[in-house]
Amino acid sequence: MKGITVIVRKVSQLLAGVVFLYGIYIIVHGHLTPGGGFAGGAVISGAFVLVILSFGSEIQKLNKSETRSSLLESTGILLFLLIAAAGFFLGSAFFFNFLPKGTVGKLLSAGFIPLFNIAVGIEVAAGLLTIFLALLIYKDEEDR
């Protein structure tokens, strides 16, 4: 991590925000354009991985980030199950679409599919980040 120059660091600082925003765009428009939860989540995790790769990090901060992203991943899936169960309590079956469906092509339409996309996006981004951090921490432990 020592040989990264100032140019790479500056550009990655500027780009990480743009990549993050692009990932959010893909997730939220999942019911209108191709993409959705998984693709957007993968792009968001790319933003975090870019910053970690170009700046480096100490092992304690990586450990703390890994526990936090692992808990965020569990929270994402529990949110998913919560929305599914809400479909049961507010309607007739699990995964029943209980929000109003709106008109085709608008952002706030298609019931609860945007909510599912957001939950899956959080989960995938946190999951991929956890995998990356776990492998990085393992390599660091092995180097000692």
Partner 1 sequence: MDYRLPLFVIIPLGAAFLIPLLAKLFKRAGEWMAVLSLLALSGLAVYFVFLEKGARVYEVGGWRPLDGIPIGIYMVLDGLSIYLLLVINLIGFLSAFYSLSYMKKFTAESLYYTLFMLMIAGMNGLVLSGDIFNLFVFMEIAAIASYALVAFGIEKEELEASFKYQVLGGISSLLILLAIGLLYWQSGTLNLADLADVLRTNSNPVFSLFIQTLLIAGFGLKTAMFPFHAWLPDAHSSAPSPISSMLSGVLIKAIGAYVLMRLFFNIFALSYDIALVLAIIGTLSMVIGVLLAVGQWDFKRLLAYHSISQMGYVVVGVAMGMMILARNGDLQVASLAIAGGLFHLMNHAVFKSLLFLNAGAVEYAVGTRNMKDMGGLADKMPVTAATSLSASMAISGIPPFNGFFSKLIIIIAAVQAGYYVLAFLAVFTSIITLASFLKMQRFTFYNKIKSSWNGTTEVREAPFSMLFSMVVLAVLCLALSLLAIPSVRDAVLTPAVNALLQAGGYGTVILGK
Partner 2 sequence: MIVYLLCMLLFLIGLYGVLVKRNLIKIIIGLAIMEYSLNLFLALIGYVRGGTVPILSQDLKTSVFVDPLPQALVLTAIVIGLATTALLLAVAIRIYKKYHTFDIREIKRLKG
Q: Does 25 bind partner 1 (CB under 8 A)?
A: no
Compare residues 31 and 52 and give the one whose CB is closer to partner 2. 31
Q: Is the distance from CB of 137 to CB of 66 less than 8 angstroms?
A: yes
Please select the residue that binds partner 2; options are 72, 79, 131, 137, rule is CB under 8 A.
131
Q: Does 58 bind partner 2 (CB under 8 A)?
A: no
Q: Does 81 bind partner 1 (CB under 8 A)?
A: yes
How many Cβ atoms from other residues are within 10 Å of residue 94's Cβ? Answer: 13
Q: Is the distance from CB of 56 to CB of 140 less than 8 angstroms?
A: no
How many Cβ atoms from other residues are within 10 Å of residue 126's Cβ? Answer: 24
Tell me which stretch binds partner 2 (CB under 8 A): 10-18, 33-41, 57-65, 94-102: 33-41
